[in-house]
Amino acid sequence: MTVATWIAILVLGPGSVAVFAFFLRDLRQVMGDRRSAGVRNGETEVRGPR
């Protein structure tokens, strides 16, 4: 259980910083115009019944 605690600490500490770094990479897309986020990586979807 002590090992599990250390693993949780490592995932939570460096892991959260890594996710935050990826968020900063996407920041311009998220803040930009409505279409840009998905258009640049080809992931924009039109939602709704199909």
7 forms part of the interface with another protein (CB under 8 A): yes
Kindly state the number of chain residues that form the binding site for another protein, as judged by CB under 8 A. Answer: 35
Q: Are 29 and 40 in contact (CB under 8 A)?
A: yes
DSSP state of 42: T
Alpha-carbon distance of 13 to 5, in angstroms, equals: 12
Name the DSSP letter for residue 46.
Answer: -
> Per-residue contact track with another protein, 10 to 29, x per CB under 8 A?
xxxx-xxx-xx-xx-xx--x
Site residues, another protein (CB under 8 A)? 1-2, 4-13, 15-17, 19-20, 22-23, 25-26, 29-31, 34, 36-38, 43-45, 47-50
